[in-house]
Structure 1
Amino acid sequence: MNPVEALRRPLQEDLSGFVALLRRLQVPHRVSEERDAQVLWVPVEALAVQVRELYLRYPQGAGEEAVPNPARPSRPGFIAQLRASWMTSAVLLLTLLVAAFTLLGDSFAALRWLTFQDFHIQGEYLYFQPWLASLEAGQWWRLVSPMFIHFGILHLAMNSLWYWELGRRIEARHGAFTLLSLSLLFGLLSNLAQFWFGGPSLFGGLSGVLYGLLGYCWIFQLLAPTPAYQLPRGVLAMMLIWLLVCLSGVIDTLGFGSIANAAHVGGLVAGCAAGLVGGALARLRR
């Protein structure tokens, strides 16, 4: 039986307290070093999930009286989850602040500073400035800032929930700055795809990034299985079916608003490509 990876932490992090806790609880494990990380292995996947939940509660170890039986771990509290996934939380906090700043897309005066292209309103129409004009003026943030824009509370709530689900997995497996780098990369590529195929338009949201993170977890898991990327059953199929429904034009026809389909597809393709590279490298290291 092949060992299962339970934790992957930076080399500079002191795991001695947590390892001592595992020994005291008689949890079978071993620790190895792989380039810039230390990896904790356990015999089976079910135990890996329990060890990760135990780590969220006691990363530095704990006294005997404070630690429950690892076979029945308690779910970490909300504050503990925020601390363990601080980059995921920071991205979502910024998203909420932008939603408040733009009044969920209703404040065009605020919105025009974050859209892919600057625009002005004349009558009932939006007139977009040339894309390169904004870049020449030094407004490089426009390449990624549309990912923080949301139109309506449902749009914001759904994207935030999915980012919380997928972002925490990648942050736990690869670290905070890998999650940030992937989010910005997928945001950039999905925005470019939407502009390239959709032309000047008002678009935004984390959806392109979410499909990128989904594609990354999907392909990485196929090449180098890890408990962190084992998504709940049916999630992948549901997301792909929703993508096909949006591409069919049904949503537009029913009057629920325009969907940035090119951003979704661009994010998914970019995520699959990144997952292919990351999963292949992880497989080689193993």
Structure 2
Amino acid sequence: MKALTILPLALFLSVPVWADGSPWLPVPKSGSLNLSYVSESAKKFYRGKARRDLPFQKIDQDTFWLSGDYGLTDSVAVDFQVGRADVSGKAPSPPGPPDQDGITDINLGVTWRVVDEDINLGAPSVALRLGATISSDYNAGVPTAIGDDASGVEASLIVGKIMGGRFALSGEIGHRTRDNKVPDETFLNAKAFLVASPRLILNAQYHNTMAGGSLDIGDPGFNFGRFPETTEDIERIGLGATFNATPQLGFGLNWFTVIDGRNTADFDAIAATVSYTFDVYQAGRR
């Protein structure tokens, strides 16, 4: 696995919409810091499960994300993610929803690896992650809301395997519960990584969020103030690449698109990331 010490860096260069978990942890007293810029745009949305044109021209969202992770022990690591977003509804006539800007909700997490593929030969790495979301301060009752403005907790099971020195797969399944009448969510993340060259890593991603509840946009009793209460399902795919300029410095470029949803915008997005890894033992990730 030592030949693949660059591979897990790519896990933190994926589009950081949520703080996805990883079964590959930094060694103690090492970690990474990542700065990402994500540009999203949508001209259509899902009203319930029906895909329709937005009632105004389009929604644009630009977000700067800061995320990172740090190894506490051989089997425990912590992570965080926070951002600043600017959301606008383009609509010269009639007037669109008000623009929004501010700090995103904060996500904090701790991951415990219960099986290490380095030690248990033939087995995948298996980890458990507990996360907490701390709500920020913005208006959640408009189509241009930064998020749901809700705090909560989540738990997930993560499995990953590095195969043949050039290929890796990881998957995560979890459950999230939040306040502000936001429906509980079950989420799935799947990623595949290919080492194309010693410095270039390609990745493919799949994400699916499945919410409980039954309230749809436009239902009797719905109003903008109840946006966080709607059943918001999101299914998206993504492709990306990571270039490791040095063992410490990496650059990532990712694209994703929503392929299905419910009560959500039909976003296309591009994300650019710069990542710095610090490792006092020069041992990489394992």
Question: Larger relative CO (CA 8 A, sep 6+): 1 or 2?
Answer: 2
Please tell me the TM-score bracket, short chain as reference.
under 0.3
Comparing both structures, which one devotes a greater share of its residues to helix? 1
Question: Normalising by the residue count of structure 2, what TM-score does the alignment of the two structures yield?
Answer: 0.24
Larger proportion of strand: 2
| Rg larger in structure | 1
